Amino acid sequence: MLALFGQGLMQATTPLNIMYIAFGVIWGIIGGAIPGISASVAMSLLLPLTFGMDPAHSLPMLAAVYVGAEYGGSIPAILIKTPGTGAAAATVLDGYEMQRKGLGGKALCISLYAGVLGGLVSVVILVFSTLPLARFALKFGPSQYFWMAMMGLSIVGAVSGKDPMKGIISAASGLFLAIIGMDKFTSTQRFTFGVFRLSEGLDLIPVLVGLFALSEVFRQIFSGEIFEVIRDKIKMTYPTKKELASVTPIVLACGAMGSVVGALPGAGATIASWIGYSETKMFCKNNETFGTGDIRGVAAPESANNGVPAGGLIPLLALGIPGSNSTAILMVGFSLAGISCGPMLFINQPAVPYGLMASMFVAQIVLLFVGLMMLRPCVYITSIKKIYLTSAIMLFAFIGAFSTTNDIYSVILVLVFGLIGFAMKELGFAPAATVLGFVLGELVEGNLRRTMQMSRGSMDIFFAGGLNKFFIALTVLGVLFPYISKWLSSRRKTAA
Amino acid sequence: MSSFLSKDRLIGLFCFVFASYVWYEAGTFPTSDFDAVGPTLYPRFLATVIGLAALIIFLKAKPENAAGASRPKCGSFLYVILLSVAYAALLNPLGFIPTTVLFLLCMVIYFDPSEMKVRLRNAALYAVLFSVFLYLFFARLLGVLLPGGVLHGLLG
């Protein structure tokens, strides 16, 4: 395991790879620093460029975007009280208070230090936990894979929409989108409406870029956010060594917690950062200063959300099941390179997963240097008029879509899915769950039909065995979780 | 809108109609002797999930309270949609650089809150420089086949 990681490290530290990782980190920081542009949007905009690239470069670059964006989100959260990503919302509480006291630079440095150290802890957990999980997953058959994908989708669907039922519909709609085109088992045309181009199925990139990036642009225009102008003055100050040392235990604990949360389907960086913040506040002495500009209130959520990217790779690499939208995009990056994620990857091409893990490690180190160099430019990015950034994102989306087929069909497709994603957001649905469903669609249907072919059409096989029952229980729990947590919180309120 | 047909009830109804369509359409797929399961079962499974969730949304929807909702910028939104459609339509005949310059000019002039003189200068500079940068980056550096259009001879 460590020997393979060492080989991966050799591969990840070639000058060309470091260049790609640095580009990914910079792209991620810029994306994260623009309010409304999440890690998944930044990754989806870069995804078309990876088409035809060597996977030894494209996958580390995409993973580096994820790493950079989780840190980048804290920049506007601290400087202008606007979290760049959902995960940075908890950072606003103390980060912006520090900025108001003229300690914005110190808050940014704490965020960077916590992010890098939290990310490194998470990579260590990734390296040691993925192979045992992959070995265990070798026991899985098609029915277990079917239920595992259903479990992931039900949890993501139920927790990501405003209403759990809307989340479930979002995920099922994603699975439906994956049906469109020629059936791989019988060559039957399904839901193509006589359109020849649809017989090949929907292209991943325009659907992804439309649902993630363009829909967000449309939402900002519709809500009037595009007219907002930022005029805050920013002062740069830096933390002392003593301050950095004082937050280190919190950073290590929250980084490990972020890794575990990242590995759970549907949880993600936003939940990790809130858990990190609230648990640190609960367990720390002198916690009355939280919310008034306490450096621990910046370090805890930032190390937790930076622990999530490496944690998210655990189920993706070991099981071939992405648990979040960012890892779903990474899975598309794998499939564009002709590589299938899952336990067999560790047997057939072990250099790929370990190369990616090593790249995540290198990305954290690169983030430290790039982050320090970009402190001042990022301050500038947050004050650019939104129209310039928004129109640039639209053009990246159009060109990215165009580059996949070199014709207007993909540009129209990206526009259509941009509008669908926008409508979904406005109506309380979850485009992220749709994307996850779309990416997992082939795996779900393929395993469902393979299982039923094995049982000659009988459904009993889906309910046989302890593993199936375990995954079914988690799937049901995933759907019921929002209702249970609502019931519990209402009971708590009544008791209080 | 009457209180019975609230937004969520309409959403539930729409999703149920969509699920019904998927169920019906899946029934028209031909069966195959080589595949015991067939292409119909899975879409119908999804239609059932969507249909049931839609029914729950419909049944538990409450009358909505429109007070306090922020006013959306429908005009700006429609303007951007129209611009995007025009961009897709003109990209091939006009070419990447002219279409992108026009798109950026229209976007910045409409949305930049600065005074008109500054806005026009900013828009022109940004549109030309950013379009050329994008062309050089994507077409020359990454090899994306962006349409040359009216500048085809000039760009080579």
Q: What is the pLDDT of residues B31-41, one digit of tens each?
A: 776 677 788 88
Domain identity same for B81 and B21: no
Separate counts of helices (H) and strands (E) for chain A = 22, 2
Query: Residue A131 is which amino acid?
Result: L
Binned at pLDDT 50, 70 and 90, residue A249 comes out as: very high
For residues A413 and B55, give the distance between their C-alpha atoms in angstroms, rounded to a whole number.
30
Binned at pLDDT 50, 70 and 90, residue A411 comes out as: very high
Residue B64, pLDDT > 80, answer no
Binned at pLDDT 50, 70 and 90, residue B129 comes out as: very high
Report pLDDT for B156.
Answer: 62
What is chain A's percent helix, strand, coil content, to nearest 5? 80, 0, 20
Q: Evaluate whether residue B2 is within a structural domain.
A: no
Whole-angstrom CA distances from A198 to A135, A194, B22, B88 are 38, 8, 16, 19
Q: How much is the average pLDDT of A265-286?
A: 78
Which of residues A156 and A297 earns the better pLDDT score? Answer: A297
Which of residues A272 and B107 earns the better pLDDT score? Answer: B107
Q: What is the pLDDT of residues A221-236, one digit of tens each?
A: 888 877 766 555 566 6
pTM (predicted TM-score): 0.80
Give the residue extent of every domain in chain A: 2-495
Q: What is the least distance, in Å, from the CA of B36 to any CA of chain A?
A: 6
Q: What is the pLDDT of residues A19-55, one digit of tens each?
A: 999 999 999 998 888 766 778 888 888 888 887 788 8
Residue B104, pLDDT > 90, answer yes
Report pLDDT for B91.
Answer: 92
Report pLDDT for B23.
Answer: 94
Q: Evaluate whether residue B148 is within a structural domain.
A: yes
Q: Which of B19, B38, B60 is the last residue of a domain?
A: B60
Of A484, A442, A481, nearest to A142 by C-alpha is: A442
The residues in A 9-68 lying below 8 A from B, measured between CB atoms, are 49
Domain identity same for B27 and B79: no
Contact: A402, B56; criterion CB under 8 Å:
no
Q: What is the least distance, in Å, from the CA of B17 to any CA of chain A?
A: 13
Domain identity same for B39 and B90: no
Report pLDDT for A82.
Answer: 67
For residues A27 and A41, give the distance between their C-alpha atoms in angstroms, rounded to a whole number.
11
Percent of chain A residues past pLDDT 90, beyond the cut: 20
Q: Evaluate whether residue B143 is within a structural domain.
A: yes
Report pLDDT for A461.
Answer: 85
Domain identity same for B80 and B127: yes
Residue B50, pLDDT > 90, answer yes
Domain identity same for B56 and B80: no
Q: How much is the average pLDDT of A393-418?
A: 88
Which of residues A321 and A360 earns the better pLDDT score? Answer: A360
Task: Quote the number of domains for chain B.
Answer: 2
Domain identity same for B139 and B84: yes
Of B143, B141, B134, B139, nearest to B155 by C-alpha is: B139
For the CA atoms of A210, A216, A222, A224, the dihedral, rounded to the nearest 10 degrees, stands at: -150
The residues in A 425-464 lying below 8 A from B, measured between CB atoms, are 427, 445, 448-449, 452-453, 456-457
A388 at interface of B, judged by CB pairs closer than 8 A? yes
Of A31, A107, A102, A106, nearest to A73 by C-alpha is: A31
Separate counts of helices (H) and strands (E) for chain B = 6, 0
Mean pLDDT score across all residues of chain A: 85
Q: Extract the tokens encoding A255.
A: 């980084």
Domain of B145 in residue numbering reads as 74-155
The residues in B 74-113 lying below 8 A from A, measured between CB atoms, are 74, 76-77, 80-81, 84-85, 87-89, 91-92, 100, 103-104, 107-108, 111-113
Q: What is the least distance, in Å, from the CA of A406 to any CA of chain B?
A: 6
Domain identity same for B106 and B144: yes
Tell me the torsion sign for CA atoms B48, B52, B53, B58.
positive
Report pLDDT for A283.
Answer: 80
Contact: B32, A188; criterion CB under 8 Å:
yes
Whole-angstrom CA distances from A119 to A29, A70, A116, A134, A260 are 15, 10, 5, 22, 12
Q: Evaluate whether residue B66 is within a structural domain.
A: no
Q: How much is the average pLDDT of A96-116?
A: 86
User: Which chain B residues contact residue A449 at CB under 8 A?
Assistant: 35, 37, 41-42
Which of residues A309 and A270 earns the better pLDDT score? Answer: A309
Residue A396, pLDDT > 60, answer yes
Q: Evaluate whether residue B53 is within a structural domain.
A: yes
Residue A250, pLDDT > 70, answer yes
Which of residues B70 and B17 earns the better pLDDT score? Answer: B17
Structure ipTM? 0.90
Binned at pLDDT 50, 70 and 90, residue A115 comes out as: very high
Residue of chain B whose Cα is closest to the Cα of A398: B88
Contact: A185, B30; criterion CB under 8 Å:
no
Q: What is the pLDDT of residues A234-245, one digit of tens each?
A: 666 788 889 889
Q: Evaluate whether residue B14 is within a structural domain.
A: yes
B25 at interface of A, judged by CB pairs closer than 8 A? yes
Report pLDDT for A101.
Answer: 79
Q: What is the pLDDT of residues A211-224, one digit of tens each?
A: 888 888 898 888 88
For A158, phi then psi, to 5°, come to -70, -35
Domain identity same for B36 and B78: no
The DSSP line for A162-198 is: SSHHHHHHHHHHHHHHHHSEE-TTT--EES-TT-GGG
Q: What is the pLDDT of residues A309-358, one digit of tens each?
A: 888 888 888 888 887 778 888 888 888 888 888 888 888 888 899 999 99
A218 at interface of B, judged by CB pairs closer than 8 A? yes
Q: Extract the tokens encoding A204.
A: 């991943």
Q: How much is the average pLDDT of A388-397?
A: 87
Domain identity same for B84 and B141: yes
C-alpha of A79 from chain center: 23
For residues A63 and A58, give the distance between their C-alpha atoms in angstroms, rounded to a whole number.
9
Q: Evaluate whether residue B68 is within a structural domain.
A: no
Domain identity same for B143 and B96: yes
Q: How much is the average pLDDT of A126-142?
A: 86
Domain identity same for B80 and B148: yes
Q: How much is the average pLDDT of A198-220?
A: 86
Domain identity same for B45 and B102: no
Q: Evaluate whether residue B67 is within a structural domain.
A: no
